[in-house]
């Protein structure tokens, strides 16, 4: 039974035979179905060039859910809502076939003309598809029309603007849902709640009490089979322009006046407006780039980036970035936000460490105690939770201090895995909630910031690549970036919240 919480929708997936659809989109839709968040009033049209029948597509969907660990329950019933239409997105004539099928399913499943177009394809096709959707009448229905756009949204500011202008001919800003899957992660969404729902933190969330913030997203995987894409992207465009800057914006933004999409995104945008541009000679002082060489992880010998498939043996592409962001506003003046991300590092971890300033004097110095700084650690993945590092009295006669930790684990609270980011984001889109999608203003500001850095890196070849071994936390210069400010990277490698 459809309700406002389970809206009727036709979801048209472009690139339905691809990797993202198989690994993320189908299992996420299935989870929503299992949880009762999809009514029976839904249908999916998958489209790509290969000539598949509806049945082949349904069995592909079935397999994808099984490989994602889905139970048998209801998969057949769920998959029966899936339809397939072979279609080359560059072929103008074949959009009419898609429209015909969409109109039929609209009637059959009582979809009220609600349509979500999910572009899970190479970005060069985004503009063409969006134009055809309008000119060939696929958006000409009485229900809602929403366009989900996968990353990358452009390669730099000019190409992102060109793409956006093209999309805007067919869809309004409110109808465009730009995916940043980090915004669908439970603990990234928790940043706002931790900040704005706790009397404990918000009064301290500024340059009077915080000395620095560190955001790390490290990966063990290398470039895998995506060498062709990654060579043109690098870590700066692949991870920093979107995920890292989005997390920084959530940490830096002012409290919105309410939680509406408009207010939240406008505060994030305002934070990004205060991000100090890093240009020219400042790039080398504030940003570090790295490229992985050979190394060993879990006893396995791994090749360097330049030995990977579809990678230039003399490649100048960075697989690691560390940088210092400064927000020039009253709240954050003088507080560095350090970011670091890279492939083939020693662990897969995304963590935010908020380091508070030391208290004005240490009463316990006579006991030769060095007080540890208070830290708030937000564990984004693989573990999800928060740790607060405090100082307390060591048990015994002496007045000695010892560091203690207060832990909260998301897993412990809910006793189950939190929903996959794509699941949350697809559900938000069905309900028309674009809060956790990026507004064009945010995308354009972050590209302008990134373009200044890539302009320097692309003209000046790195002469020390490869400069970190696979299985390490990046080049030495990344540590030096913090050392020169009197800080160091807090360790982020952990298996469980309890251990850190
Ligand atoms: N895979 C991932 O983990 C992630 C992917 N993304 C983004 O998601 C998008 C899709 O990625 P991914 O699934 O990995 O890509 P794939 O290369 O696996 O899939 C591409 C899809 O596009 C179809 N296709 C290619 N050319 C045409 C055409 N001319 N007309 C119609 N269909 C066509 C292919 O099918 P066919 O050959 O049958 O036509 C296939 O279904 C990209 O924008 C990517 O950047 C973002 C984050 C993670
Ligand atoms: O967008 C991307 O993100 C992944 C990392 O995502 P995560 O959820 O596993 O942390 C990264 O591997 C990929 O290169 C990038 O395109």
Output the pLDDT for position 496. Answer: 42
pLDDT class of 239 with cuts at 50, 70, 90:
very high
Residue 442: its pLDDT value, please?
98
Q: What is the pLDDT of residue 367?
A: 67
**18 ligand 1 Cβ < 6 A:** yes
* pLDDT recorded at residue 221: 96
Which structure tokens are listed for 47?
């489209």
Ligand 2 pocket mutation pick from 215, 238, 339 by most atoms within 8 angstroms of CB? 238
First-to-last alpha carbon distance for the chain, in angstroms, is 45
pLDDT at 116 over 60: yes
DSSP state of 50: S
Percent of the chain with pLDDT over 70: 96
Q: Which atom of ligand 2 is nearest to the CA of 185?
A: 8
pLDDT tens digits, 347-398: 999 999 999 999 888 887 776 677 889 999 999 999 999 999 999 988 887 8
Whether omega before 207 lies within 30 degrees of 0, making that bond cis, reads no
Report phi then psi at 16, rounded to 5: -75, -15
Per the prediction, the chain carries an average pLDDT of 93
If one residue of 243, 342, 352 were mutated to test the ligand 2 pocket, choosing by the most ligand atoms within 8 A of its CB, it would be 243
Residues 470 and 295 sit within 8 Å (Cβ to Cβ): yes
Instruction: Determine the distance from the C-alpha atom of residue 199 to the mean position of all C-alpha atoms in its chain, rounded to a whole number.
Output: 28
Specify the DSSP element, H or E, that contains 43.
strand 42-48
Closest CA to 247 of 318, 163, 325: 325
Q: What is the pLDDT of residue 414?
A: 46
Q: How far is the CA of 90 from the centre of ligand 1 (A)?
A: 14
pLDDT tier for residue 1 given thresholds of 50, 70 and 90: low
Structure tokens at 268: 């994030």
pLDDT tens digit sequence for 455-498: 999 999 999 999 999 999 999 999 999 999 999 999 988 544 44
Position 420 scores a pLDDT of 84
Q: What is the pLDDT of residue 410?
A: 79
Q: pLDDT by residue (tens digit) across 265-309? A: 999 999 999 999 999 999 999 999 999 999 999 999 999 999 999
Answer yes or no: is pLDDT of 500 > 50.
no
- Percent with pLDDT over 90 in the chain: 86
Question: Does any ligand 1 atom lie closer than 6 A to the CB of residue 71?
Answer: no
Quote the CA–CA distance of 319 and 362 in Å, as a whole number: 42
CB atoms within 10 A of CB 38: 24
| 17 labelled binding-site residue | yes
Q: What are the pLDDT digits (tens) for 165-192? A: 999 999 999 999 999 999 999 999 999 9
Q: ipTM score of the complex?
A: 0.98
Ligand 1 atom 37 nearest Cα: 49
pTM: 0.95
Does 199 appear as a known binding residue?
Answer: no
Tokens of 60: 């592909």
CB atoms within 10 A of CB 384: 23
CA distance 490 to 495: 15
* Secondary structure tally for the chain: helices H, strands E: 16, 17
Q: Which residues are marked as active site?
A: 243
For the stretch 25-73, pLDDT in tens is: 999 999 999 999 998 899 999 999 999 999 999 999 999 999 888 777 8
The residue-averaged pLDDT of 241-261 equals 98
- Using the predicted structure, report yes or no on whether residue 419 has a pLDDT greater than 70: no
């Amino acid at each position: 039974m459809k309700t406002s919480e389970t809206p009727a929708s036709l979801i048209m997936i472009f690139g339905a035979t691809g990797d993202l659809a198989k690994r993320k989109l189908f299992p996420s839709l299935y989870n929503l179905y299992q949880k009762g968040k999809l009514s029976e009033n839904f249908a999916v049209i998958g489209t790509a060039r290969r000539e598949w029948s509806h049945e082949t597509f349904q069995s592909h969907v079935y397999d994808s859910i099984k490989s994602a660990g889905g139970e048998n329950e209801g998969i057949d019933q769920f998959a029966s809502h899936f339809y397939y239409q072979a279609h080359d997105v560059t072929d103008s004539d074949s959009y009419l076939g898609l429209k015909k099928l969409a109109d039929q399913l609209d009637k059959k499943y009582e979809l009220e003309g609600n349509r979500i177009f999910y572009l899970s394809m190479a970005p060069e096709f985004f503009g063409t598809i969006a134009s055809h959707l309008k000119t060939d009448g696929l958006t000409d229905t009485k229900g809602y029309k929403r366009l989900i756009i996968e990353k990358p949204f452009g390669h730099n500011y000019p190409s992102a603007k060109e793409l956006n202008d093209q999309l805007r001919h067919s869809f309004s800003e409110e109808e465009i849902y730009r995916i940043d899957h980090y915004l669908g992660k439970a603990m990234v969404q928790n940043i706002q709640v931790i900040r704005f729902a706790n009397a404990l933190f918000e009064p301290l969330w500024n340059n009077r009490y915080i000395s620095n913030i560190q955001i790390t997203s490290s990966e063990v995987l290398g470039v895998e089979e995506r060498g062709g894409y990654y060579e043109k992207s690098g870590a700066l465009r692949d991870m920093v322009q979107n995920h890292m800057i989005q997390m920084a914006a959530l940490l830096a933004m002012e409290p919105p006046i309410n939680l509406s999409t408009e207010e939240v995104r406008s505060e994030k945008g305002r934070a990004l407006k205060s991000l100090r541009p890093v240009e020219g000679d400042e790039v080398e002082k504030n940003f570090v780039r790295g490229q992985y060489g050979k190394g060993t992880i879990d006893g396995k010998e791994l090749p360097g980036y330049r030995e990977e498939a579809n990678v230039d043996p003399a490649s100048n592409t960075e697989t690691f970035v560390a940088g210092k962001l400064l927000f020039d506003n009253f709240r954050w003046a003088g507080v560095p936000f350090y970011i670091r991300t890279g492939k083939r590092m020693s662990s897969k971890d995304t963590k935010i460490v908020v380091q508070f300033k030391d208290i004005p004097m240490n009463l316990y110095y006579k006991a030769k105690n060095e007080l540890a700084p208070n830290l708030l650690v937000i564990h984004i993945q693989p573990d999800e939770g928060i740790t607060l590092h405090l100082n307390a009295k060591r048990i015994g006669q002496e007045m000695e201090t010892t560091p203690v930790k207060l832990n909260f684990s998301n897993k412990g609270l809910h006793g189950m895995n939190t929903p996959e980011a794509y699941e949350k984001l697809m559900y938000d889109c069905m309900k028309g909630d674009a809060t956790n999608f990026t507004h064009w203003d945010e995308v354009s500001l972050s590209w302008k910031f990134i373009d200044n850095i890539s302009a320097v890196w692309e003209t000046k070849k790195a002469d020390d690549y490869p400069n970190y071994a696979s299985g390490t936390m990046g080049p030495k210069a990344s540590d030096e970036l913090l050392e020169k400010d009197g800080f160091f990277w807090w360790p982020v490698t952990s298996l469980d919240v309890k251990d850190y």
